[in-house]
Amino acid sequence: MDLVIFGDFNCPYSALASERAARLERAGVAHVDWRAVEHDPTIPPAGEVVEGTVRADLDEELEKVHGLLVAGDEFAPHRPPVRSNTAAAVEQYAGVEPDRRARVRVELFRRYWLLGEDLGDERVVDTLGGQRDPVTAAAWNREWSDLGQPVVPTMRLPDGYVSRGLGALKRLADLLEPGDGQPIP
């Protein structure tokens, strides 16, 4: 099955979607075309220190994400010290060869949510290899916006149906539990 998923590296819901997508890919259940988007371009280029209301909002999101975990989910994010502007990371990811994107996607989420690295930092982004591709990044963003209701994650199923946010996460979870009731590792 071919799935197209739009998500942002600084979104904990997208991070959970990425982890579930990786499990589906490893099991050979789906091929995922992950299209990175910058869902909040108002974040300053240097990012925002995670304190005050930013911290409270992020902690609330993380608590909700933890409540969505199903058998086999290994996503255990830590609150990052900076809310990253992901424009550079999205452009760099867009420039990665398609056959390496799944590994790079997983690595970007790991670096942000587990290691607390700032994905707006040029030194972090430049370690991914490839060249930035602002044209592809902009095309992905337009495609995502054109779907209406720009929410991350957004998933387009093979039949063209679009599932957003919690609905997309639920569909991914359902795909991970085949008829025998045993979750896909």
In the chain, domain spans: 2-175
- State the Cα–Cα distance between residues 121 and 91, nearest whole angstrom: 13
First-last CA distance in the chain = 18
Task: Please give the CATH superfamily to which domain 2-175 belongs.
Answer: Glutaredoxin (3.40.30.10)
Q: What is each CA distance from 171 to 30, 102, 116, in whole angstroms? A: 13, 19, 28
Q: What is the pLDDT of residue 74?
A: 85
Q: What is the pLDDT of residue 68?
A: 93
Q: What is the pLDDT of residue 177?
A: 81
Q: What's the pLDDT tens digit per position in 85-130?
A: 999 999 999 999 999 999 999 999 999 999 999 999 989 998 888 7
Q: What's the pLDDT tens digit per position in 140-183?
A: 999 999 998 889 999 999 999 999 999 999 999 999 886 545 55
